[in-house]
Structure 1
């Protein structure tokens, strides 16, 4: 039979479908073949015509049915509130630094460097090689690939002074990004309900990780040179805390860097209280006017637990970090890491190792430092010209951000909204304070896209601030 026969059968069945209740099952193909004295192919064509018209629906293994028209109605998930109970902590939603924005906007809010600052050629080549290696199919050890563990340990050993025992590869635990490392470290070394001292302001991801672990965060004031040893000692004495989370180099968000004397004093306080210093070296690869030397290089007694990330400097798609810890602390961290995710993708570990051991990696870092310096200075110049009432407390010697204090009183939430309405995305400083903010701050990223638009972005911030009566 011809296509005309299929159309005739479809028309005849349409009349039958119109009179049938929704959900009625159609006769089988064999029955329709007999009824219309047609071949199976012709009948199937007719059914496809009806399906395309939205009149019938096929349920594999069951049959063909008159399509049910589902009435629109609101979702009702209210029962879940009772089933879930009250949340452990109330999040404000997606943090500003993680938002993606259209390309035609000026993005000063992000926590990540622009694509042009990444070693893209090295990363792509590394993925091609890793896909051909064992990492693409084999399960790696729970602590990480031995060669990658050795690389992290060797990097730290290279700056360890004489008289201090450098870490061994077995002291390294590889994680799928620094956020996972923070979550596990806080859980393992602090524990739910117990206090954790943190700099204030500090990285919002650390605050989030502490909340998820049920850890009680205790802020320690931190200025342009980091916290004062006497303030840290007082916090240890008042709280009984046994751990202090800090970023000694190019702190996020302030850009502060501890000098040698301040570092020695703070490390001595940690030792006196028999505590841990959880050192987050997030910006190790982003030095501009300074080469960071981790505090972990000064300690072989296990007081410093060192977190080193490659995610932002290699690629956001290569989420690899490591925690270097010694003694029982390392064993507890590894046990909790195994319980959380068993192991980290061998493919991503192989890619990260390939990139950081390639001869081009050091060349890339030297170029990156110069690029960051140009961008930092460009944004600072824009602030001084178009937003002179703002205060830049620290000119960072590395990292990705400027920490800008606005005059009081400033309605920060309104300012952020007005800037966004005008096409500029900025990060409100409130998100970096573990307690009440000490002022109205913005964290501005100078490593983001389109540095040529920095001046226009700051002009827009200035206009938004002026509308508040400045």
Structure 2
């Protein structure tokens, strides 16, 4: 049993026993609780912290824990209705909606199979290598000193080698989502349009809207963003930012066609715009050679590149990089400094240890195999139990399958029924900047234990489809 689950169990037991103590009466010592319940001191500390947060217990340093007096944990009722006016009365008000992102970040209950996740299952994470890197970094002399604002030189150099740029053109950031938000705020003024692939990553849509920008969809196909429609959109909107995922696009899995790469750069440059290249999945290939990042082939300085290590490691290992050429790099740096100062040095030091260790290439090889096996297991289960949802082609990288539902399907009803059946899926609507052309589901396979769990998840999804009347054959 994990420390977290043990502490929750102990907190529940102690909560049930609080009636035995008078308000202000001292509870048994931590040592007594350790001996009585056979748990660790850390578990006791976490359990008491839960009760403190609930207002049921108060702690006094050096004295112990005491039952709180009645009313200590009560919250005074405050009339906040005035905020509805205050939050919407300003000119340029933008209603923020993070529901699409939150749905994919939500951790399902233990008995629910997670097809909605975008991070690696613990069995795919390099947990041992991460632990070793973090431990070594914490002990390194100077590890707790302030780092350079742009990032440690050695880490910037490592990212530069990966991208085919120079270290001076790299800025270390606190994860890919933070980099997207920083770049959008730096590149476009509030109220302007930003062109996005359709469908696209909901986190980019949320970040654009939070920055006061207007996402305008440009349809994509199997070869990536459609350049004929992009040309029209640039002319119609005057947009100065194009957000694009050229490699294993989320959610569709497309890779930008080789014959579109140069023309895309020329189109964006001719419009006096920037191409925001979100290269989030470079370490999630399923085998085979990968095209170079667009920033490496950019002759104009039009590309602002985002590369992240989070997806290939752990959701908690939030480290990424922005790469750009010219004055825009200073703009990016200024926005990041205002928002967060810098990325913590111990995390940067740990990243250097991780990517420099022999375990790193071994992890990437194992990850490639693990993702490919899960992708194939999901595809096979769909062909068997839900052939109407099976894709004709499979992505060569990434962590999900993008499937079109039969016309008229109610995505909300299906996702709700799926959760009742014990499987969490992502509705397609949140991946579109405007009205969705058809109902879809995104089915993630990275946050699963393997083929057996995937097979059971598809079986449960078939039950949900039957419940809401979705034709599956």
Which residue is 2:284 aligned to?
A: 286
Q: Which of 176, 179, 182 is the aligned partner of 1:181? A: 179
The CA deviation string for residues 171-190 of structure 1, in whole angstroms up to 9 with x for no partner, is 11111111111111001111
Query: In the aligned structure 1, how far is the partner of 2:138 from the partner of 2:295?
Result: 34
Which residue is 1:468 aligned to?
A: 468
Q: 1:423 to 1:326 in 2, by over 3 A?
A: same
Q: Secondary structure at the match of 1:75?
A: coil
Is the CA contact 1:277–1:304 (under 8 Å) kept in the aligned structure 2? Answer: yes
Is the CA contact 2:279–2:308 (under 8 Å) kept in the aligned structure 1? Answer: yes
Report how far residue 264 of structure 1 moved.
Answer: 2.2
Gaps of 5+ in 2: 1-20, 28-56, 61-67
**TM-score with structure 1 length normalisation?**
0.82
Query: In the aligned structure 2, how far is the partner of 1:395 from the partner of 1:195?
Result: 32
Report how far residue 441 of structure 1 moved.
Answer: 0.8
Query: In the aligned structure 1, how far is the partner of 2:169 from the partner of 2:98?
Result: 36
Report how far residue 367 of structure 1 moved.
Answer: 1.7
**TM-score with structure 2 length normalisation?**
0.81
Query: In the aligned structure 2, how far is the partner of 1:59 from the partner of 1:372?
Result: 47
Is the CA contact 2:96–2:206 (under 8 Å) kept in the aligned structure 1? Answer: no
Which residue is 1:315 aligned to?
A: 314
Which residue is 1:26 aligned to?
A: none
Report how far residue 53 of structure 1 moved.
Answer: 9.3
Query: In the aligned structure 1, how far is the partner of 2:459 from the partner of 2:226?
Result: 36
Query: In the aligned structure 1, how far is the partner of 2:349 from the partner of 2:309?
Result: 13
Report how far residue 432 of structure 1 moved.
Answer: 0.9
Query: In the aligned structure 2, how far is the partner of 1:421 from the partner of 1:102?
Result: 11
Report how far residue 135 of structure 1 moved.
Answer: 5.2
Q: 1:262 to 1:133 in 2, by over 3 A?
A: same
Which residue is 1:250 aligned to?
A: 248
The CA deviation string for residues 240-266 of structure 1, in whole angstroms up to 9 with x for no partner, is 111110000001111111121122222
Q: 1:73 to 1:212 in 2, by over 3 A?
A: closer
Q: Counterparts of 1:11-50 in structure 2 under 5 Å?
A: none
Query: In the aligned structure 1, how far is the partner of 2:419 from the partner of 2:411?
Result: 12
Which residue is 1:218 aligned to?
A: 216
Which residue is 1:410 aligned to?
A: 409
Q: CA RMSD for the aligned pairs?
A: 2.5
Query: In the aligned structure 2, how far is the partner of 1:420 from the partner of 1:185?
Result: 35
Query: In the aligned structure 2, how far is the partner of 1:51 from the partner of 1:319?
Result: 42
Which residue is 1:147 aligned to?
A: 154
Is the CA contact 1:135–1:346 (under 8 Å) kept in the aligned structure 2? Answer: no
Which residue is 2:439 aligned to?
A: 440
Q: 1:308 to 1:72 in 2, by over 3 A?
A: closer
Q: 1:58 to 1:313 in 2, by over 3 A?
A: closer
Deviates more, 1:344-353 or 1:95-104: 95-104
Q: 1:394 to 1:203 in 2, by over 3 A?
A: farther
Q: Which of 96, 100, 117 is the aligned partner of 1:90? A: 96
Q: 1:377 to 1:79 in 2, by over 3 A?
A: same
Q: 1:268 to 1:82 in 2, by over 3 A?
A: closer
Query: In the aligned structure 2, how far is the partner of 1:393 from the partner of 1:322?
Result: 35
Which residue is 2:24 aligned to?
A: 51
Q: 1:402 to 1:68 in 2, by over 3 A?
A: closer
Aligned residues: 407
Report how far residue 449 of structure 1 moved.
Answer: 2.2
Query: In the aligned structure 1, how far is the partner of 2:265 from the partner of 2:286?
Result: 25
Q: Secondary structure at the match of 1:368?
A: helix
Q: 1:68 to 1:468 in 2, by over 3 A?
A: closer
Query: In the aligned structure 1, how far is the partner of 2:343 from the partner of 2:58?
Result: 42
Gaps of 5+ in 1: 1-47, 61-65, 158-166
Q: Counterparts of 1:3-402 in structure 2 under 5 Å?
A: 51-52=24-25, 75-79=77-81, 81=83, 84-86=86-88, 88-91=94-97, 93=99, 95-134=102-141, 136-157=143-164, 167-290=165-288, 291-392=290-391, 394-402=393-401
Structure 1 consecutive aligned stretches of length 4 or more whose deviation exceeds 6 Å: 57-60, 70-74
The CA deviation string for residues 332-371 of structure 1, in whole angstroms up to 9 with x for no partner, is 0001111111111001111111111212211211121111
Q: 1:135 to 1:238 in 2, by over 3 A?
A: farther
Is the CA contact 1:394–1:403 (under 8 Å) kept in the aligned structure 2? Answer: no
Structure number with greater Rg is 1
